[in-house]
Amino acid sequence: MSILPNLTSKTRYASLPDHFYRRVQPLPLNNPYLVSFSPGMAEILEIDPASITTPEFTEVFTGNRLLNGSEPIATVYSGHQFGQYVPQLGDGRALVLGEVEDREGTTWEIQLKGAGLTPFSRMGDGRAVLRSTIREFLCSEAMAGLGIPTTRALCITGSKDEVYREKIESAAVLTRVATSHVRFGNFEFFFYRQQYDDLKLLADFVIDQYYPASREAENPYLDLLQQVIDKTARLIARWQLVGFTHGVMNSDNMSILGLTIDYGPYGFLDTCTAHFVCNHSDHLGRYAYDQQPQIGLFNLSCLAQALLPLIDDQNEQAAADKAQEKLNSYQSLYTEYYEQGMRDKLGLKEVHPGDGHLIENLFSAMENQVDFTRFFRALSQFEETGENHILRDRFIEPGRFDRWADIYRARLALEKSDPAERRQRMRRVNPKYVLRNYLVHRAIVKAESDDFGEIETLLSLLTRPFDEQPEMESYADEPPDWANTLELSCSS
């Protein structure tokens, strides 16, 4: 029985020179076991369902056994972490096993996270712990369920081998899947080392593999920048629309394909708080919810700077001017994607000049008043006539809602929208269920006692976040008071 019959052992990225990566063999874990797997991702990769429960499956996705002559690689990159440039980072605990092409012709990189030391581990041990792998596994698949571009996750395997963090924890390996794991930081690495030939090789690789239309542009590298700006603006707008906060938006955690990558101390808003900080290590709130759009621009500026020698290798100022012109489009692109997404959440079909103010007034009314996800889901019940007690009673200060409701009511009247049809549209874009941190915590606590049932429950629930799922109603409740005491850091 072959688990990944279509696995190509040498990835396309490995066609680049050896100094772009290092070949590394995974370090085995003792007596590994399967914690959980994603049926959706297994189907995409055409994995035989019967193989999933076999010891071979667990061995392969722990790194204890290699398939088809696999030659795993760890890639090198650098990046800006909390605004400061770090000259060398890299895959300190991640190895790309190979690639699989699915039925649609999409090629997926298969990556083990937590499979042992690499040359880029620095002071780390190359391992992941059960706690952090559960967090990334569930959020990867939850974001896919929300329709947000993301790396995916195939499975978690665990072991009783000990790993030292703030306390002794058990080891685990996450199998992560993405069309590419290339980051902004890959470009920064070669730029800051003034290895411009290598920078060009990398940019040409990305264009040829992922942005072929850019090759036809007058300036392919400038067009590449524009395409990444567009994808990043769209991605961050999607984050904001569901109240998702990444927590560590370093430039090395930004995907060149506009995917959500590297789930650490993330969080979905509970109470609507603009300056929500989910990362306990982020003392200055650099990566707060309301800062994410501007941090996106900062990271794009880092990428743009790295591309300058390619945009114009004869005139640095001309290159900077051209790059800046592209960067200037970010804010309007972000606003366009965000406001259109908010119109969808509010059930609005037409574009009107005052829509930006309508949205701003809503968030001003919601600030520190209501649960983000629950309010938007309930908003589909808004009555154009009536007092909307179901909605206003959610507010600590109901008058805030009343004032905004008058504006919203008038806006709906402009469209002469059909209430029943509007409700249906709103429920298709306003999720009932999101992966709140207390839900993940509850699953982790059970998993640490070898009960993986809650992981399966959440995985099933969050693949259909817009469906009512009456039997799962409690998962859409207000978070318990103890949820406010949870603290997440970069080690999460």
Handedness of CA 410, 411, 413, 414 (dihedral sign): positive
User: How would you class 90 by CB atoms within 10 Å of its CB: exposed for 0-12, middle for 13-18, buried for 19 or more?
Assistant: buried
Element holding 123 (H helix, E strand): none
- Give the number of other Cβ atoms within 10 Å of residue 236's Cβ: 27
CA-to-CA separations, 485 to 128, 280, 474, in angstroms, rounded? 24, 11, 20
Active site includes 252? Answer: yes
Q: Which of 91, 223, 252, 371 is catalytic?
A: 252
Q: How far apart are CA 449 and CA 303, in angstroms?
A: 44
Q: Which residues contact 184 (CB under 8 A, 6 or more apart)?
A: 79, 251, 252, 254, 256, 299, 300, 302, 303, 306
| Beta carbons of 322 and 311 less than 8 angstroms apart | yes
H helices of 107-195, where? 130-145, 184-192
- Enumerate the H helices of 312-354 as residue ranges: 316-327, 330-346
For residue 22, what are the β-bridge partners?
Answer: 74
State the Cα–Cα distance between residues 30 and 59, nearest whole angstrom.
10
Q: Strand, helix or coil at 444?
A: helix
Cβ neighbours of 13 (radius 10 Å): 21
284 contacts: CB under 8 Å, gap ≥ 6 = none
State the distance between the two ends of the chain, measured CA to CA, in whole angstroms: 36
The DSSP symbol for 464 reads: S
Catalytic residues: 252
